Amino acid sequence: MKRKLIIKNKFKNRKKQRHTYYKNNNNSSSNNNTIISSSDEQKLYNQKNYDIITNNDIINDSDSSSSSDINSGSENSSSSSSSENSSENENENEKIKEVKIEQKGIRICIFDSQNLSRIISKDSINLVVTSPPYPMIEMWDELFRGLSMQQIPPVELWHHSNIMEIFEQMHLILDRVWNQLFYVVKEGGIVAINIGDATRSISQRFHLFPNGARTTMGMIKAGFTPLPNIYWKKSTNKPNSFLGSGFLPVNAYVTIDCEHILLFRKGNKRKFTFSEDILNRQNSKFTKEQRNLWFSQIWSIPGSRQQKINNKKVAAFNMEIPKRLIQMYSIIGDIVLDPFMGTGNTLLAAIELQRQGIGIEINEAVFHFAEHLILNFVNKEKKNK
């Protein structure tokens, strides 16, 4: 079955010049894409023009006034850039691919979240549920190097004398996203970040890279207040595996079998004054059993089976994680953002739980993979009604 998508070239041609874009369910466009290399990422970052892709199967009138909350911000990106200085004038023609499912309040974009405030309005997000690339985990080395504009040296030049500096450079990239989150999240809004610490031998010296602690500091610097956090204990296939020297002291290492789910709030506690919010809050109530399970510090949940896109792992989290967090920290109708969307689990959970959602993904192939899953999910839901 072919699905028809309308692409509106928004900023280059304000007259809503239309193109028709066909996608085939069996041959998703993701098949033709390759994982973007660091130079591609840079190209993406510098792309010009701004396309909005709206699913016409799901949306009856893709041209209709798009005044729902999730749309806010995309107009901003043009108006704010036009008033900015020359280096930012390029942004006026910035090209961002965006897919909207307006009936579900869903918006997903190919974009670099280091610049979120260009496409999402200030104080518009109720909850962020995300998992960034983990610094010092091998699968993300090239991505960080690309995003650092090659400031991070190639792996061959890493040494235990410079490795903490490199670790810091990777976190400075994530810090930019945390700063942007502070701009887009509403007062009283919550940010939940799933991140694991990393271990790695660098020039034959074994190191721990404390991503949880460093991310907490980055979020505090961005302005957020830290809250008690969760340890996600992944059940492992190899419970007795450990790194080190067999059964002899002293050189064995504790196995890392927990990841962090860090929690933060922006400003003061959220207040519910509008009657609609009060009603939605009532309808979003959880049970006593759920409260007892969810609000304890250790969550024992298996990791999800890792999928590959173009032969590369995607590091998706188990859907149970975003589902719990969304029910704990948002109400029906809220806007949930994932600035590192990956395969779109946060968005799928948001749709299922009647929240609106925004997902941002820098990698085109991964974006199309998520797009496919989200559209299928929405269509299936539609059919089941």
The H or E element spanning position 309 is strand 308-309
Retrieve residue 95's tokens.
Answer: 């090209």
Retrieve residue 341's tokens.
Answer: 């969307």
Is 169 a binder of ligand SAM (CB under 6 A)? no
Residues 365-384 that bind ligand SAM (CB under 6 A): 366
CB atoms within 10 A of CB 160: 13
Number of residues binding to ligand SAM, judged by CB under 6 A: 21
Judged by CB under 6 A, the residue of 62, 72, 114, 356 near ligand SAM is 114
**One character per residue 133-152, x = contact with ligand SAM (rule: CB under 6 A):** x---------x---------
Task: Choose the stretch contacting ligand SAM; rule: CB under 6 A; options: 68-76, 87-95, 108-116, 250-258.
Answer: 108-116
Question: Which residues are CB-contacts of 360 (< 8 A; sequence separation ≥ 6)?
Answer: 108, 109, 111, 113, 116, 119, 337, 338, 339, 340, 341
Alpha-carbon gap, residue 169 to 135, rounded angstroms: 9
The answer to whether residues 110 and 96 touch, using CB atoms and an 8 Å cutoff, is yes
Query: Which residue number, 59 or 170, has a Cβ lying nearer to ligand SAM?
Result: 170
Retrieve residue 312's tokens.
Answer: 């590369």
Is 360 a binder of ligand SAM (CB under 6 A)? yes
Residues 194-233 that bind ligand SAM (CB under 6 A): none
Which strands, in side-by-side order, build the sheet including 2-9? 18-24, 2-9, 51-55, 97-101, 106-110, 356-361, 335-338, 125-130, 185-195, 258-265, 225-233, 298-300
Task: Choose the stretch contacting ligand SAM; rule: CB under 6 A; options: 76-84, 85-93, 234-242, 308-316.
Answer: 308-316
CB of 67 to ligand SAM, least distance (A): 26
Task: Choose the stretch contacting ligand SAM; rule: CB under 6 A; options: 9-17, 93-101, 214-222, 337-345.
Answer: 337-345
Query: Which residue number, 62 or 318, has a Cβ lying nearer to ligand SAM?
Result: 318
User: Which residue's beta carbon is nearest to the bound ligand SAM?
Assistant: 342
Judged by CB under 6 A, the residue of 197, 263, 363, 372 near ligand SAM is 363
Is 180 a binder of ligand SAM (CB under 6 A)? no
The H or E element spanning position 40 is helix 38-46
Judged by CB under 6 A, the residue of 113, 124, 126, 215 near ligand SAM is 113
Is 315 a binder of ligand SAM (CB under 6 A)? yes
DSSP letter (8 states) at residue 242: -
Radius of gyration of the chain (CA): 21
Identify the CA nearest to 95 among candidates 385, 364, 382, 337: 364
CB of 261 to ligand SAM, least distance (A): 12
Judged by CB under 6 A, the residue of 342, 364, 371, 377 near ligand SAM is 342
Is 299 a binder of ligand SAM (CB under 6 A)? no
